Amino acid sequence: MGEEKLLNGGGVQRVDKTRMGVGSWRPDWLQKFNSMKWFLLALSLASFVQAITVGGITAVNLQTLETEFGLTSKSTGLIMTGNDISGLLLVTVVSFFGTKASKPKWMGIGSVITGLGIALFALPKLMIGKYEGASNQEGFDPTCQASAGPQGDLQCNENGGGTIGHMAVFMISQLLMGIGTTPLYTLGPTYLDENVSPRAAPVYLGIWFCCTMLGPPIGMIIGGMFLRIHTDMEAPEGVAIGDPRWVGAWWLGYVAFFGIFIIAGFFLFLFPKRLNSKQAKKREKSIKMGQLPGEEQMKFTFKGYLKSMFSLCKNRVFMLIVFGTTIRMLYTIGMFTFLIKILILKFGVAPSKAGQSLGFIMMPSLIVGVMLGAVILRRAKIEIAAQTAAKICVIVSVITIGSSFAFLIPGCRNTNIAGIMEPYHNHTEVTGSIASQCNSDCHCKKSLYLPICGSDGRTYHSPCHAGCTKTIVQMDKDGKIALVFGNCGCFPGNHTKSLNIPGVMQPPPGGRPGGLPSSNSTTVANQQGFDMSKLKSMSREQKMALFKQMGIMRKAFFNEATVGKCDRDCKNFILFIICTLFFVMIAFVASTPNKIMVLRSVPDNQRSFALGTQFVIMRGLSFLPGPIIVGGIVDSNCISWGYDKCGKKTNCLDYDIDAMSWTLVWLGFITSAVGTVLYFLAWWWYPVTSEKVSMNALIKEDGGVVDEEEADENENV
């Protein structure tokens, strides 16, 4: 178990390769970490951080990325598949040749690569600089300009890079993450399985899997916290959380976690190729007893690679397990990618609240589910552990087959956008356009999206599209600035009055109205400017006195509107969360049993390769198309598209939630039903191992009775 090294004096030093370290550097103080428990900690930490960033923070950020970079849901779905594209190309090669190589070394190098990919994901923020949505542009007036001539969108730059460069960086980052993560999820479980007793393996795998699955919900909570910080670290004046113009600091999570991942990878790199030689002998005994599948001759060449692949493809039980999991994951991965966005749309919650709520309910349900599955297998006899795992997967699949029907729980009504979902007051039918006769002379810019709720109960695309000609600022009880628009020509019973507020209200130069309140804007009142800089020098008492005066003048408004969509009667968010908690807990009961099924359905020395092959099939047929399919479903139900400053279509602004929900329900039901049938067939055809035959095989081999306590020596974990 060592190698010889020639010393300067001609002597030979023997290097024990079961010691922790690199090359001949294997100091004694480092050996205190040379145990399976420390390896489990390092592997779990790396998997945990990877899941936090890739599975949790990124899922929370998708809606924000669409807003800041003008991406469609299909585009963000494509970004998410970058991780799986590289994994799809490398996973079988890594798992096949990694079987012979030092697994910890491969995992350590992969973790460093993943850490670099995580850091790269934040780079587009440096590329795009300060966020300037159409409604935040300096001098960009949102109100009706009936007296002005037609004007194009401001600050259009056809050669400004658009989103192509940002998309490329996001994709390269995800590709790097996929490359680095591949050894972690294929070689990691195998290294655990081959260095502990067969009976203890489910517990070790359950702990690792639990840490891995805890990553996404904790990432959602952390990502939600970061989204409460503005993407530019300081929000423009008058823009607060919940405002349609708010964009959170999506990039902070990647900056915070990439270093931790690299440290965990370095620690993994130091572990030896094999931890425990005694455990290897015990594993050989279990194989001879028939408790574990035997080994199959493997040649680590390209020809041997193809032969092993063909052998796995002929394994009926293995293929049924893999395809049963794959068809179910097609829906699960796609839904998980966009679940937070769907919660935002369907139940009207803020992105930060959606992420944190989902994270908090997933943590306990996930822990209970994973550990329950591991404990059930821990109590099963080694000979029937695989059959027990198959039964658990079938039962769980049957129970969760109707989980997608939770999306039929009533949430918010569809947004009643004037011209699209409801007719303008001077029309009897919906025209499918936000343009109308009442705003035809306003020269509204289609890139401007600032939804307002009118006093007529309709939601309008912007104050301009509502025909509003007046703007006033108000201060709420928390001291935050709020906009109120008045004299809106598209409301029934239109009236117009001039607005004159003394004090700081001044006509802007040349009578030209200013833009929305921002750090670069000095006016907010249409036709009567307001010097925003004076607010900063005022005390709170002076501000309250000023805005009280403005409140009095607000009574001169007719047909007023406030920023934001009209009330959509959102309800049942808590009920949906409770249903999600139940189904998540039940679904994760099958997580460890699924891994055991794969590991026990193939020859012992093909376990890493089997996991790699499973990853190839799952990534190619579920991880890759899942987010794209669900993203396409989300985009297909768009009722209002946004446009950039040059008039090009960007991200969706509003959706038909009811139609989207029904489509997702049927997709989930069909995939779950097919997956359940495949799981049942895998259980039905799983070979049954006879305990009596296994014991006789070992007695014949050793010439005596087996000491069962010896086989359970390392079970207490």
Residue 487, Cβ neighbours under 10 Å: how many?
25
Taking only the tens place, the pLDDT of each residue in 220-237 is 888 888 988 888 888 776
The whole-angstrom separation of Cα 187 and Cα 176 is 18
How far apart (Å, rounded) are the C-alpha atoms in residues 474 and 559?
Answer: 17
The CATH number of residue 317's host domain is 1.20.1250.20
Q: Which of 263, 287, 311 is the last residue of a domain?
A: 287
The residue out of 226, 255, 287 marking a domain boundary is 287
Residue 152 counted as domain residue: no
Structural domain boundaries enclosing 460: 415-493+538-567
Q: Do both 184 and 273 map to the same domain?
A: yes
- Residue 179, domain member (yes or no): yes
What pLDDT digit, counting tens, does each position of 279-293 carry? Answer: 555 555 555 555 445
* pLDDT tens-digit readout, 423-463: 887 776 777 788 888 888 888 877 778 888 888 888 888 88
Split into its structural domains, the chain has a count of 3
* 454/362 same-domain check: no
List the structure tokens of 689.
């191992």
Specify whether 244 is located in the same domain as 322.
Answer: no
Lowest mean pLDDT among 62-76, 164-178, 324-338, 478-492: 478-492
- 706 within domain boundaries: no
Domain boundary (253, 270, 287) is at: 287
Contact 584/591 with Cβ under 8 angstroms?
Answer: no
Residue 643 parent element (H or E): strand 638-643
In a domain, 466, yes or no: yes
In this structure, are 484 and 561 located in the same domain?
Answer: yes
Distance in angstroms (rounded) separating the CA atoms of residues 447 and 131? 15
pLDDT tens digits for range 589-605? 888 788 778 877 777 66
Q: Is residue 714 part of a domain?
A: no
pLDDT bracket for residue 300 (50, 70, 90): low
Strand partners, 649: 643
The answer to whether 337 and 630 are in contact (CB under 8 A) is: yes
Do both 295 and 373 map to the same domain?
yes
Residue 642: strand, helix, or coil: strand
Is there a single domain that holds both residue 294 and residue 211?
A: no
Band of pLDDT at residue 521, cut at 50, 70 and 90: very low
DSSP for 418-487 reads BTTTB--TT-SS--SSS--GGGTTS---TT----EEETTS-EESSTTTTTEEEEEEEE-TTS-EEEEEEE
When mean pLDDT is compared across 312-316, 541-545, 616-620, the lowest value belongs to: 541-545
Same domain, 425 and 403: no
Residue 15 lies in a domain: no
Same domain, 362 and 419: no
Q: Write out the two tokens for 68.
A: 């800041």
Indicate whether 543 belongs to any domain.
yes
The verdict on 398 and 276 lying in the same domain is no
**pTM (predicted TM-score):** 0.67
405 shares a domain with 431: no
Quick one: pLDDT band at residue 98, thresholds 50, 70, 90? low
Residue 523 lies in a domain: no
Q: Are residues 182 and 206 in the same domain?
A: yes
Question: Dihedral angle at the C-alpha atoms of 52, 57, 58, 62, nearest 10 degrees?
Answer: 160
CB 331 within 8 A of CB 401: no
Q: Per the structure block, which two tokens stand in for 279?
A: 């455990």
pLDDT tens, 613-622? 787 788 788 8
The answer for residues whose C-beta is within 8 angstroms of residue 18's C-beta and 6 or more apart is 1, 34, 272, 274, 275, 276, 277
User: Looking at the structure, do residues 112 and 205 belong to the same domain, yes or no?
Assistant: yes
Q: What is the mean pLDDT of residues 384-413?
A: 85
